[in-house]
Structure 1
């Protein structure tokens, strides 16, 4: 059972993230004297520059030897297709300067990538013979060649090229000294590649762990990808994602992982009457779960899978879609998922025809439609949506 072809574009996803700040944080903000704040808030960050020759990177990034951590904590998904990777290699062959990568020294001689993962991966994977060059503009003769296919003189020349790096070392005693998360500021503000980290990429960078891994795993599960129009999981895609996957706006931006996070975070907010902006609620919940171990996330994973599978069995190809199989709706997803998880005893399967009819009537009713999908993306609106969704699942919608 597969959903209609996904029509969500990158502009839609960017709007999703922008809407997270619709509601201001409700706690009062204590204003400081500007001079005092300036004196107290300077980031104690040491900066040094390095040039890494590609022959060093070839060895430093080999599995089991990673002197530079290019993926675990950062978790921005690889977005570059082979042609873009190839153009970077061509630039290096032509000795064209490339922008520096930014590294964070988390411990003595231990680095993690802040900005430039796509470039580092493109270089590392080409030197590992993982992909052929394609779409070259000045070296078309080298198209379809992998690294080991290149003439020896070009291999040697490429290995002598250098990749500039800026290494940042925070002198603060902890990542959150003086109430300021140094890593968050660095991740959020550095923008050398032209694409700022979106909120979910930041969460994945700052709060790695078993809960984060579960979000990504659930986002690649079959019912989720079928419903949201994402290409299905294929073994090995973490290293070499398909072009179709790279073109999918929801996957490429980690919006899929945020959708899974929304289920857990908003349900917690509804059940515990939490307030604040949507972004604050998602951030705080992600942080609160960052130390949860794998043994503790099993029940959460099973519950999410059960709820989304049950809803798909009832709504099929139009799960979380607006009337007449229209666009996918995050508010509708939030409401139905949370409502069913709060009362899993509702027998939606035996009453599937009535449940589908109840949703159709709700979407056709102006007042109910406004509650389900038309209001601002606020926590107060989520409360109302979940309440209405419960009446829909019990086939009581007017």
Structure 2
């Protein structure tokens, strides 16, 4: 094979949010994956969505008494700029109908906002945020002389009543709807504004237990040392990476072969983490210990290049690659520090060689990364590289 026959390495593209790099490499799908196959058509009787109307006062009261949840720790939902927030409030004052909201109801009757979080958070902050999170209107278009610079408490009583009495149309996903169906429903309706990514959807739909586990994993000093402070990521990529580790640690690559797709695999793991019957506290403690060990080992072996593409011709530091994170973290979780200290140089040499010369490996960590054959290959190749120097 001549030099001209060697394919160009896949281009490395960083994800961006609000025109700012997120520090994580974008995952791309091949053209033939753009049109999803309907390999598990749902029974229409399983899809139960009821349409209800609430006043904004009613919705805000439900938030305060915790019967309606605004997805705690969900940072992305509160990143609207002040002018965007102000114009939403102005729309309410002008009695312009708001787009429909989606809530998910659980078996205890509690509801979570799964679509419309930014709008409802903004209204709550304005009306009931007070000095802590409330804001004064800025940049309104049509009511400048009447409300510009005013907080909720500064508005005349009729205007306050107009906000409170505004009716919102809400589609409530019934708790009898299976989780996988509910997830697919939300992916379909999640199209407006800045769509949520897969982990943000899972966060909205999950329970406190899995949220706490993933938050604890990504708050550890070991994780932040290995990822250069990725904890608290604005798009929850940190929690997706922790969830990927948990998924492969709990279910293994054999467990991946059944769904053979990343979304249902991670959704299944989220449900497991939410259930103490499936993953008890002792198992969670073991998971946390393995995760910490993996992060320490990754930092030891790769230093500031951990979980990043690092071919021989690379002189800088690329964004974190999720496929590399899941494979190297799972692989390194099984090694002792003393062993790795003696073999770091050999392991790095093998790893960089894979990322320079093995085009199949490069494909497996770049595009269609959920393809089961690519998942299996990158785990096999990574495990072999981790044995270098023995």
Q: Same fold (TM over 0.5)?
A: yes
SS of 1:50's partner is strand
2:263 maps to which residue? 279
Alignment of 1:70-219 (within 5 A): 70-71=70-71, 77-83=76-82, 84-106=84-106, 110-127=110-127, 128-129=129-130, 130-133=133-136, 135-138=138-141, 145-148=150-153, 150-153=154-157, 156-157=160-161, 159-168=163-172, 170=174, 174-176=176-178, 183-191=182-190, 193-194=192-193, 196-219=195-218
| Deviation of 1:203 (Å) | 3.1
Deviations 1:22-79 (A, max 9, x none): 69999x9699xxxxx9xx634574634324143x4444322xx12323326x968524
Q: Is the 8 A contact 1:22 1:277 kept in 2?
A: no
| 2:352 counterpart of 1:360 | yes
1:385 maps to which residue? 378
| Deviation of 1:264 (Å) | 2.4
| Deviation of 1:291 (Å) | 0.7
1:245 maps to which residue? none
Q: Is the 8 A contact 2:105 2:112 kept in 1?
A: yes
Q: Distance in 2 between matches of 1:119 and 1:109?
A: 22
Q: Distance in 1 between matches of 2:197 and 2:245?
A: 19
Given the superposition, is the C-alpha separation of residues 17 and 226 from structure 1 closer, same or farther in structure 2, using an over 3 Å criterion?
farther
Given the superposition, is the C-alpha separation of residues 60 and 310 from structure 1 closer, same or farther in structure 2, using an over 3 Å criterion?
same
- Count of aligned positions: 356
Q: What TM-score, normalized to structure 1?
A: 0.71
| Alignment gaps of 5+ in structure 1 | 1-5, 32-36, 234-250
CA-atom RMSD in angstroms: 4.2
SS of 2:53's partner is strand
| Deviation of 1:162 (Å) | 0.9
Given the superposition, is the C-alpha separation of residues 269 and 314 from structure 1 closer, same or farther in structure 2, using an over 3 Å criterion?
closer
Deviations 1:176-206 (A, max 9, x none): 3xxx965345433334744555433343344
Q: Is the 8 A contact 2:300 2:341 kept in 1?
A: yes
1:348 maps to which residue? 340
Q: Distance in 1 between matches of 2:349 and 2:180?
A: 49
| 2:335 counterpart of 1:335 | no
SS of 1:16's partner is coil
| Deviation of 1:396 (Å) | 3.9
Q: What TM-score, normalized to structure 2?
A: 0.72
Deviations 1:239-291 (A, max 9, x none): xxxxxxxxxxxx34433322112122234332667342233333333333331
Q: Distance in 2 between matches of 1:285 and 1:67?
A: 26
Q: Is the 8 A contact 1:23 1:278 kept in 2?
A: no
Deviations 1:213-257 (A, max 9, x none): 212332344454565566655xxxxxxxxxxxxxxxxx3443332
Q: Distance in 2 between matches of 1:305 and 1:98?
A: 45
SS of 2:265's partner is helix
2:299 maps to which residue? 312
Q: Is the 8 A contact 2:86 2:137 kept in 1?
A: yes
Q: Distance in 2 between matches of 1:353 and 1:187?
A: 46
